[in-house]
């Protein structure tokens, strides 16, 4: 009998396939090596040095400073991963897809240097980050690309992706983003990979995305909808809208701004953001509604000032600070295990038969 408390299947890391059951603490939506400055603004280097005198202000405006929204140093990625291991973590998913300066070899080097497992991502980000050829690509061409990224290698390497996405979506949805969603659904079925989607900011966006994926036959139980924090800042919502309604459709809903405690969303000052306590309130509501297996958490670190090196909380914040807070607030050990282990591994774990063909006996 398979043990229901043990994840099954394999996790495809940048250093090879490993049994999912080996991992104990996962941050499922992070960025280690990335450039999230939109291509049109990349010339604006500014050469800003981040130091004690300016880091708070740069962090407050988040990715408005180009120098803050880019981290391409493999040595720093390795240091941050080693600190995550010291906080009890053992697996990080870098969801830097095509368009965000994905660096598969860099991730493998940082993983080897730190001893922390890393999963890289197949897929494409929002239209604004894509070249003309990718924007024009058919759903069939994108499907073939995503399948190759998972089964052959990323960007000309032999390092393979272990998750599709975050697939970038705008609001309203661009045609090329719709094709990427179709391709993600098809590539997931061909490979056994899970899917992660960055939705547009409109509260209707996640529901439209789920409809598109479902129409293509995607396994909604292994679909993560990211960024609940800024899409539904009011919290869990109620019947018919918000994270509760989304989770009831069968997808996983992800609060991935843990560690961000500013009053408003840097991309849209009209959007009030929850604090970590507020995130946990929304999560509590989903657990009480019987949806514990549908919840994901992470930090989505995509600026330097959120890493330890530049005075931030680092990839271990959830394990170091939020888990003890959960225990104080009455969350159980099982709740914690679902958030940091079972649910993310449920998204990531590929059925063994789909990736390691059994040889003749
Ligand atoms: Zn992200």
> What's the 352 CA to ligand 1 centre distance in angstroms?
27
Name the region of 168 (left: φ>0; alpha: ψ -120 to 50; beta: rest).
beta
DSSP for residue 50: P
Axis crossing angle, helix 205-215 with helix 175-191, rounded to the nearest 10: 50
DSSP for residue 273: P
Pair 138, 114: CB distance under 8 Å: no
Provide φ and ψ at 288, rounded to 5°. -65, -25
> What's the 111 CA to ligand 1 centre distance in angstroms?
19
Query: Tell me, what's the pLDDT at 47?
Result: 67
Tokens of 237: 């919502």
- Measured CA to CA, the distance from residue 340 to residue 110 in angstroms comes to 22
- Measured CA to CA, the distance from residue 183 to residue 168 in angstroms comes to 13
> What's the 199 CA to ligand 1 centre distance in angstroms?
11
How long a stretch of residues is the chain?
A: 361
Query: Tell me, what's the pLDDT at 39?
Result: 79
Kindly report whether the peptide bond that precedes residue 358 is cis, defined as omega within 30 degrees of 0: no
pLDDT digits (tens, 9 = 90+) for 39-78: 777 655 556 789 999 999 999 988 888 889 999 999 999 9
Tokens of 83: 């600190």
Query: Tell me, what's the pLDDT at 361?
Result: 32
Provide φ and ψ at 149, rounded to 5°. -65, -30
Pair 34, 95: CB distance under 8 Å: no
CB atoms within 10 A of CB 98: 23
> What's the 30 CA to ligand 1 centre distance in angstroms?
6
Strand order in the sheet with 91-94: 26-30, 91-94, 117-119
Give the residue ranges of the chain where pLDDT is below 70: 1-4, 42-47, 352-361
Pair 30, 298: CB distance under 8 Å: yes
For residue 228, with 0-12 CB atoms within 10 Å meaning exposed, 13-18 middle and 19 or more buried, which class applies? Answer: buried
> What's the 240 CA to ligand 1 centre distance in angstroms?
26
Which helix (H) or strand (E) segment holds residue 255: the answer is strand 252-255
> What's the 119 CA to ligand 1 centre distance in angstroms?
13
> What's the 224 CA to ligand 1 centre distance in angstroms?
12
Query: Tell me, what's the pLDDT at 2?
Result: 58
> What's the 260 CA to ligand 1 centre distance in angstroms?
14
Q: What is the mean pLDDT of the chain?
A: 94
> What's the 299 CA to ligand 1 centre distance in angstroms?
9
Distant-in-sequence, close-in-space partners of 86: CB < 8 Å, separation ≥ 6: 316
CATH class of 26-355: alpha beta
> What's the 50 CA to ligand 1 centre distance in angstroms?
22
Q: How far is CA 35 from the centre of its chain?
A: 15
Query: Tell me, what's the pLDDT at 64?
Result: 84
DSSP for residue 21: G
**What percentage of the chain has pLDDT greater than the value 90?**
86
Query: Tell me, what's the pLDDT at 78?
Result: 98
Query: Tell me, what's the pLDDT at 75?
Result: 98
Q: What are the extents of the domains in the chain?
A: 26-355
> What's the 96 CA to ligand 1 centre distance in angstroms?
7
> What's the 31 CA to ligand 1 centre distance in angstroms?
6
> What's the 100 CA to ligand 1 centre distance in angstroms?
10
> What's the 29 CA to ligand 1 centre distance in angstroms?
6
Pair 41, 55: CB distance under 8 Å: no
């Amino acid at each position: 009998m398979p043990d229901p408390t043990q994840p099954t299947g394999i996790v495809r890391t940048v250093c090879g396939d490993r049994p999912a059951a080996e991992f104990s603490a996962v941050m499922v939506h992070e960025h280690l090596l990335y450039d999230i400055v939109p291509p049109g603004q990349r010339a604006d280097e500014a050469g800003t040095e981040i130091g004690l005198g300016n880091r708070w202000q740069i962090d407050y405006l988040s990715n408005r400073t180009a120098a803050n929204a880019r981290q391409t140093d493999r040595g720093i990625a390795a240091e941050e991963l080693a600190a995550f291991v010291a906080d009890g973590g053992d697996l990080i998913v870098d969801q830097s897809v095509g368009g965000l300066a994905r660096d598969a070899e860099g991730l493998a080097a940082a993983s080897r240097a730190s001893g922390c497992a890393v999963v890289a991502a197949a897929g494409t980000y929002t239209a604004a980050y894509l070249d003309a050829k990718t924007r024009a690509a058919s759903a069939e061409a994108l499907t073939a690309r995503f399948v190759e990224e998972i089964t052959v290698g990323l960007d000309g390497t032999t390092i393979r992706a272990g998750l599709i996405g975050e697939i970038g979506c705008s609001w309203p949805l661009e045609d090329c983003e719709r094709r990427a969603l179709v391709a993600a659904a098809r590539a997931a079925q061909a490979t056994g990979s899970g899917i992660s989607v960055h939705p547009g900011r409109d509260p209707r966006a996640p529901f439209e995305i789920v409809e598109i994926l479902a129409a293509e036959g995607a396994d909604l139980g292994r679909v993560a909808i990211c960024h609940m924090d800024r899409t539904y800042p009011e919290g869990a919502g109620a019947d018919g809208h918000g994270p509760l309604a989304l989770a009831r459709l069968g997808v996983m809903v992800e609060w991935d701004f843990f560690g961000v405690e500013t009053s408003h969303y840097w991309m849209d000052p009209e959007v009030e953001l929850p604090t970590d306590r507020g995130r946990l309130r929304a999560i509590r509501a989903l657990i009480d509604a019987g949806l514990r297996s549908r919840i994901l958490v992470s930090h989505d670190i995509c600026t330097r000032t959120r890493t330890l090196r530049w005075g931030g909380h680092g990839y271990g914040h959830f394990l170091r600070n939020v888990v003890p807070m959960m225990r104080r607030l009455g969350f159980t050990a099982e709740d914690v295990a679902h958030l940091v282990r079972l649910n993310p591994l449920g998204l990531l774990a590929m059925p063994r038969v789909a990736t390691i063909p059994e040889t003749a006996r």
